[in-house]
Amino acid sequence: MKRDLNNLFNEHHLRNGELNTRRIFLKNAGLSLGAIALGSMFPGCSSEINNGSIKNLNPLVPKSPHFAAKAKSVIYIHMAGAPSQFELFEYKPILNKLHGQDCPPSLLNDKKFAFIRGVPKMLGGQSLFEKVGQSGTLISDNLPHFKNVVDEVSFLRGMHTDQFNHAPAQMMMHTGSPQQGRPSIGSWATYGLGSENQNLPGFVVLTSGGVNPDAGKPVWGSGFLPSVYQGVQCRSKGDPVLYLGNPECTSRDMRKLSIDAINDINKLTYEEFHDPETVSRISQYEMAYRMQISVPEVMSISDEPQYIHEMYGTKVGKECFANNVLLARKLVEKGVRFVQLFDWGWDTHGTSKNTALEVGLINKCRETDKPVAALILDLKQRGLLDETLIIWGGEFGRTPMAENRNGVEQMFHGRDHHPDAFTMWMAGGGIKKGFSHGETDEIGYAAVKGRQSINDLHATILNQLGFDHEHFTHDFQGRPFRLTDVGGTVIKDIIA
């Protein structure tokens, strides 16, 4: 018996030794080091959120910014396709004189254009300008209504970007990076400030006629932020939010019971795994339930008085930009943080009448001029303009040269993509009134004064919302990320 016991001990030693060879030790050590490294790569899954109780987990709860902010909400009007600054805001008499002459080689050296080949001809402004407002700003006749509100806005005449194709340039404009994967401005805003109205999404996206911008939905995506911060696309016709209604034969009470049951299970899952995406899911179910009542109400413009419809030029029951602009005002009035409007069709190459400066562009102006001017005036009379930041712009500018696709002159006037200089404007939200920042050269080819990057624009937007853009970060893949990446300075010149 004693001998047997000894054998047992010996065997245990032997087995133990076999399992702890040098080779096995090194293998285990390698795995553990890898596990440690992996742990540090997922900071988003740990720390802060783990400590909170499930009750306070609503990711859209309103939060304070870094410092007292002037702007509480933002309406971003993106004119996808890039409107031509020369037919809207930039009066260049010297360019008009050079009309029809060959472009000097100094402007073409080392430059790459999307479509211009060889030596193009200079193209003078295709519209008349008038000095308007107390600020004496020159505005094109293409924007007759905008002339009335020019003393409310600050122009950024020296904007530039580094992308000359639509999709990456739009990504750059909305996320600060030409590649996918970064959160959009609206996502950052709701991530930092939460949402005031608990019955409505904090970040709403409206596209005219349902045409998405070239870059697709990532321009209002949440990137590496939890997906609860992504933009909610609403439609101005039919169901405002898709799949919001109850399934057939399901009552609202039944719906409530099932959502509660699902959320209870989700809460258990969260307590086990602490994945922030589970929280997103819980709050989105709850939000969807509340939105069933609140969204149809706020998304209907038919209750608005007649003079408001006339002011905006809205068409009840149709899909159009004007309806979206009116909706944007209603949403902001109800406490929605960020409304993003997309309008497509500003890519005036001049290859057909529809994209010609003398036809297509003018039609686009006629569709959008009145609603935009009305938005400024309407917010002003409602006492909301001082807290609502409006931003208007495309993704880049257009060339002072005529486009000559494939080296051939075209039947219509058009301009190619131009990232070196373009005009945007901002209004309300603590921005100066009737002011111009920046200046381009005599032919509008490049900015000579107030040359601002998109990072600068983003820094300024965040500043008006109360954030120091250098300290507003989210940890991802082991390092803190910012909307402005490693650049950006606040454009103090336009801050009132």
Partner 1 sequence: MIANFIGKLHIITLHLPIGILLLGVILEWFNHLKWIETSRNLRSFAFGLGSISAIFVSLSGFLLFTYGDYNEDVVWSHKISGFITTILSLFLFSFSFYKENRFQKYIALLVAISITLTGHLGGSITHGEGFLTNFSANSSENDTTPIFEVDNIEEAQIYSDLIQPIIDAKCVGCHGPNKVKGKLRLDSEAAMMEGGKSRKEILGPNKAKSELLRRVLLPLKDEKHMPPKSKRQVTEDELSLISWWIENGASFTHTVVAKDTSTAILELIDKVIKESHNLNSDQSTIPAFLPDVEVKAISTEILNSFETNGIIALPAGKDSPFLEINFVNVNEITNIHRETLNKVAENIVRLKWSELTINDEDLVLISKMKNLLKLHIDHTNITDQGLQKLKDLNQLMYINLNNTKITNQGIEMLNKLPNLKEIFTFETQVTLDTLQNGAKIFKGGYQLEFLPSDTQRISEN
**Token representation of residue 118:** 């060889």
| Among the listed residues 96, 135, 148, 351, the single contact to partner 1 using CB under 8 A | 148
**Closest distance between partner 1 and the C-beta of residue 430, in Å?**
5
| Among the listed residues 343, 347, 378, 403, the single contact to partner 1 using CB under 8 A | 378
With respect to partner 1, which residue has the nearer C-beta, 6 or 352? 352
With respect to partner 1, which residue has the nearer C-beta, 175 or 453? 453
**Given the rule CB under 8 A, which of 14-22, 69-77, 232-240, 410-418 is the region that contacts partner 1?**
69-77
Does 307 bind partner 1 (CB under 8 A)? Our answer is: yes
Residues near 52 by beta carbon (within 8 Å), at least 6 away in sequence: none
**Given the rule CB under 8 A, which of 214-222, 269-277, 343-351, 361-369 is the region that contacts partner 1?**
361-369
Does 334 bind partner 1 (CB under 8 A)? Our answer is: yes
Does 122 bind partner 1 (CB under 8 A)? Our answer is: no
Distance CA(337)–CA(342), nearest Å, equals: 17
Does 353 bind partner 1 (CB under 8 A)? Our answer is: yes
Does 436 bind partner 1 (CB under 8 A)? Our answer is: no
Query: Which parts of 119-193 fold into alpha helices (H)?
Result: 166-175, 185-193
| Among the listed residues 246, 250, 381, 477, the single contact to partner 1 using CB under 8 A | 381
| Among the listed residues 78, 92, 145, 337, the single contact to partner 1 using CB under 8 A | 145
Contact between 207 and 215 (Cβ < 8 Å):
no
- Which of positions 229-288 make contact with partner 1 (CB under 8 A)? none
Distance CA(229)–CA(192), nearest Å, equals: 10
**Token representation of residue 83:** 């409107």
| Among the listed residues 13, 27, 318, 382, the single contact to partner 1 using CB under 8 A | 382
List the x/- string, 36-65, binding to partner 1 by CB under 8 A: -------------------------xxxxx
**Closest distance between partner 1 and the C-beta of residue 67, in Å?**
4
Q: What does DSSP assign to residue 162?
A: S
Distance CA(472)–CA(72), nearest Å, equals: 17
**Closest distance between partner 1 and the C-beta of residue 464, in Å?**
6
| Among the listed residues 102, 271, 468, 485, the single contact to partner 1 using CB under 8 A | 468
**Closest distance between partner 1 and the C-beta of residue 27, in Å?**
42
Largest interatomic CA distance in the chain? 114
- Considering just the CA atoms, what is the radius of gyration of the chain in Å? 28
Strand pairing of 129-132 and 137-140? antiparallel
| Helices 252-273, 276-298: inter-axial angle, 10-degree rounding | 160
Distance CA(299)–CA(313), nearest Å, equals: 17
Residues in the interface with partner 1 (CB under 8 A) total 51
Strand pairing of 153-159 and 422-427? antiparallel
- Three-state secondary structure call for residue 479: strand
- Which of positions 415-434 make contact with partner 1 (CB under 8 A)? 430
Residues near 248 by beta carbon (within 8 Å), at least 6 away in sequence: none
Q: Minimal CA–CA distance to 466: which of 298, 359, 337?
A: 337
- Three-state secondary structure call for residue 45: helix
**Closest distance between partner 1 and the C-beta of residue 389, in Å?**
10
**Closest distance between partner 1 and the C-beta of residue 483, in Å?**
16
With respect to partner 1, which residue has the nearer C-beta, 11 or 310? 310
Q: Within a 10 A sphere around the Cβ of 439, how many other Cβ atoms?
A: 15
Binding site for partner 1 (CB under 8 A): 61-71, 144-145, 148, 196-199, 307, 310-311, 313, 334-335, 353-354, 358-359, 362-363, 366, 370, 373-374, 377-378, 380-383, 386, 430, 449-450, 463-464, 466, 468, 490, 492, 495
